[in-house]
Amino acid sequence: MLIRLLHFVLCLVGAPLLLGIINKTKAFFAGRNGPPLLQPYYDLWKLLGKGAVYSRTTSPVFRMGPVIGLSAVLSAALLVPLGGLPPVLAFQGDLILFVYLFALIRFFIVIGALDTGSSFEGMGAAREVTFSALSEPALLIGLAAIIKLTGHSSFSQMFATLQVGSWASVGPVTVLFAIAMFIVFLTENCRIPVDDPNTHLELTMIHEVMVLDYSGPDYGMILYTAALKMWLLGAVLIGVLTPMHTGMVWLDTAAAIVFLLLLAVVTGIIESSMARLRLLHVPPLLITATALSILALVLVFGGFA
Amino acid sequence: MNPSPFHWFYNCQAADQNRIPEVPIHQFREYILEAAASGKRIASFFVVPSDSDTQRLVAILADENTGKLAILSTFVFDRFASLTPDCPQVHLFEREIAEQGSILPEGHPWLKPVRFHPSWKPGRDVWGRNSQTAPEPSVMDFYRVEGEQIHEVAVGPVHAGIIEPGHFRFQCQGENVLHLEISLGYQHRGVERALIGGPNKRTIHYMQTLAGDTTIGHTTAYCQVVESLADLRVPPRAQTLRGIALELERLANHTGDLGALAADIGYLPTASFCGRIRGDFLNLTALLCGNRFGRDLVCPGGVQFDMTSQSFDKMAEHLIQLKKDVAVAADLLWNTPSVMARFEDTGRIDLHTCRQLGLVGVAARACGAESDCRFHFPTGLFRFAQIPVSTWHTGDVFARAYVRWLEIQRSIAFILDQIKACPQGPIRADEKPLAPNRFAVCLVEGWRGEICHFARTGPDGKFTHYKITDPSFHNWAGLSMALRNQQISDFPLCNKSFNLSYCGCDL
């Protein structure tokens, strides 16, 4: 039973590290020392020790956002395996629950943003729902292709079915899925080229602007939720792309963690080497991701994989 | 042909104040409109208050074809027929006149306060505001678009970045901006009023801090005004040092702007490089005078600090290295498709709009207008050494960035030439009192664009009026126009591509 809890604990502890690695990578490319690797942890600790300020125009809906967000992402963390570590819960269709737990987080962050009545936050909320309406199909259709390919709709069984050895046959589908999933990964985690997590310009923000009014522990919860989200989406991506199953739990897990950290490095490199897209050009990017997912599904149905 | 109603003169050429022609308002209007229609630009248009009921309006025109300036004045009571409907480039000048002199420009389509200060005529106010209490900035009727789908976004006065305060109000349909209204005045210090009775010990410090990033530009304009009023001959070596300082200021700011443009679109390499290179250019100014922003370098009669040949060598050596560094940083911008996709076709202004609004400086040259005081109205060093005018024709964010890059290259080459050719000799002429009852106008091409200073002395040789027109004053309307039908998320990028001064406009 204990081993079932391991990934859950690992995820809780390790998630902010991915942000630290991205920031270190960016600093490296900019020729700076950058903040310490553990800075995201210090930030969370600092925020937990602060008081929160609430606007008089907000209602309890605003305060529900961070709590529901964190609970939802913790529930999602129960469903995802990593390397040789099984998830706490596994059942047929758990990945559908996974996707919609993320939708739940978004819903509450968005109504929390609308609750403040700020024009900035309303704008951010409009952008968030527009883009997520386009990224959700990419994710679900991609997962549908993998379900069809493996015959399982539970993460643990799905990943177990995929093998490095079977790349020759299922490669095209997993690669298409991985590209689509990577775009979704960047979108959901507000990274460049879709969003710029470092910008101070409210008018250009998507996710950041919706959480402008949160402070102290509430903001800490939101940052932590975002970090967990990044870890979990990353775990799904590498679960499909690099299915190492040597039978040795520790080796498989270590490999998966290394891949996860590499994913953070790649994200950092992308952020260091390209500009953000014009907001109008984000939907075409997400539609491309959806198209790739559909292509993966077609390949599976056509028996090419 | 009728003799011209204007008094024509060269940049920095002082004359007796009786030479300022006075014509009745209807003729004034006619002459100004005619001159503007024939391509002359209004460099400044302002009220000179008097104790009597009549107040004087003075217009200064710049004719780039002949390299001459023209001045004309008229007397008005409390109102005159607005020129703005026929000549949009005076729109902000007329609002300023209305605010300062309580003179109503009748028929002005957009008559709102500029800086939200009480009128210079106590008890009178064009807007009928209470004259006892100081008006609050941005308290006015904003333009509104009505409709179910329209939303309004108010930004500022406190900004996300560490920049100056200003209020921006957007009328949007979804992400699309229908109109942007800009309301400044938060940094109004009353500089122009404080200069009356000068020059005194404070004057030069006001000039150095009119716009903190344009210290050399504004101080040079002021010193040239004083020198032409006092008939001072600035030694050649001082002229060269001033020219070098002006170009160093341009280099630092243009480089900083390229970096800031990159940062706004999240493109880290150029943002990181340019931040450092800007500092290096500032350090070269420090090499010249000990201060990175050139404070206390330029003074009436010349400059306060001389360069040794060793420090010239050091400057040249650094410049050659910086030239390579800044080329790498800038080329990254032009060669990265994701950057160009953001720059191109964003915030476009066509040449017609540019001329109508009377834009100056980088913003105008990026629309293809060949307008550069260093070339058209040269003073000081630029009479003897020319810098080619850099233009680009697309009028978008890319053009404003690219013109900056062209100017960076030309300024570096220019400074390197001047270091080699720097004449020997004194660096400062002895100060003399200003001649009484004269006026002078000086245009200087600061890094943002044309800086216009006008001064008039009284019988005692002290300033009885001083008028400063910062390039930002001409260009803020350009930013509003550039935003029409753009994405609101592109506003920070457009704003940065203009990078206008708030305090230079607020004075």
pLDDT digits (tens, 9 = 90+) for A162-221: 887 777 777 788 899 999 999 999 999 989 898 888 888 888 888 888 998 999 999 999
Question: A203 CA to chain B: closest CA distance, Å?
Answer: 5
Q: Is B192 on the interface with A (CB under 8 A)?
A: no
| Contact between A198 and B266 using a beta-carbon 8 Å cutoff | yes
Cis peptide before A60 (omega within 30 of 0): no
Q: Tell me: the pLDDT tens digits for B5-27?
A: 899 999 999 999 889 999 999 99
Is there a contact between B183 and B167 (Cβ–Cβ < 8 Å)? yes
Position A84 scores a pLDDT of: 84
Question: A117 CA to chain B: closest CA distance, Å?
Answer: 12
Position B131 scores a pLDDT of: 67
* Closest residue on chain A to B492 (Cα): A201
Sketch the domain layout of chain B as residue ranges: 194-469
Contacts of B267 in chain A (CB under 8 A): 274-276
Q: Which residues of A touch B (CB under 8 A)?
A: 26, 29-32, 119-120, 122-123, 126-127, 192-193, 196, 198-204, 271-281
Strand partners, B298: B303
Q: Tell me: the pLDDT tens digits for B384-424?
A: 999 999 999 999 999 999 999 999 999 999 999 999 998 99
Tell me the mean pLDDT in the region B482-505.
Answer: 92
Q: Tell me: the pLDDT tens digits for B298-321?
A: 999 999 999 999 999 999 999 999
Contacts of B154 in chain A (CB under 8 A): 119
Which two tokens mark B284?
């070269």
Nearest beta carbon to residue B492 from set A31, A119, A203? A203
Sketch the domain layout of chain A as residue ranges: 2-301
Question: B267 CA to chain A: closest CA distance, Å?
Answer: 4
Which two tokens mark B275?
């931040």
| Nearest alpha carbon to residue B57 among B14, B92, B101 | B101
Burial A139-169 (b: 16+ CB within 10 A, else e): bbbbbbbbbbbbebbbbbbbbbbbeeeeeee
| Contact between B153 and A201 using a beta-carbon 8 Å cutoff | no
Question: A64 CA to chain B: closest CA distance, Å?
Answer: 26
Q: Is B379 on the interface with A (CB under 8 A)?
A: no
Nearest beta carbon to residue A204 from set B268, B272, B492? B492
Which CATH fold would you assign to the domain B194-469? Cytochrome-c3 Hydrogenase; chain B (1.10.645)
Position B121 scores a pLDDT of: 84
Is there a contact between A232 and A94 (Cβ–Cβ < 8 Å)? no
pLDDT above 60 (res B1): no
* Closest residue on chain A to B339 (Cα): A275
Angle between helices A119-150 and A94-115 (to 10 degrees): 180
Contacts of B335 (CB under 8 A, 6+ apart): none
Position A18 scores a pLDDT of: 95
Position B163 scores a pLDDT of: 79
* Separation CA B456–CA B464 (nearest Å): 6
pLDDT tens over chain A, length 305 residues: 788 899 999 999 999 999 999 999 999 988 889 999 999 999 999 999 999 999 899 999 999 999 999 999 999 999 999 988 899 999 999 999 999 999 999 999 999 999 998 888 999 999 999 999 999 999 999 999 999 988 999 998 888 888 877 777 777 888 999 999 999 999 999 898 988 888 888 888 888 889 989 999 999 999 999 999 999 999 999 988 888 788 888 898 999 999 999 999 999 999 999 999 998 899 999 999 999 999 999 999 887 76
**Interface size, chain A vs chain B, as Cβ–Cβ contacts under 8 Å:** 84
Position B198 scores a pLDDT of: 81
- Which candidate in B268, B335, B344, B494 is best for mutational testing of the A interface (most A CBs within 10 A)? B268
Position A305 scores a pLDDT of: 62
Position A198 scores a pLDDT of: 83
Nearest beta carbon to residue A123 from set B153, B265, B341? B153
pLDDT above 70 (res B162): no
| Contact between A120 and B262 using a beta-carbon 8 Å cutoff | no
Contacts of B151 in chain A (CB under 8 A): 119, 122
Burial class from Cβ neighbours inside 10 Å (0-12, 13-18, 19+) for residue B262 reads: buried
Contacts of A271 in chain B (CB under 8 A): 266, 268
| Contact between B161 and A201 using a beta-carbon 8 Å cutoff | yes
Contacts of A120 in chain B (CB under 8 A): 153
Nearest beta carbon to residue A278 from set B272, B336, B342? B342
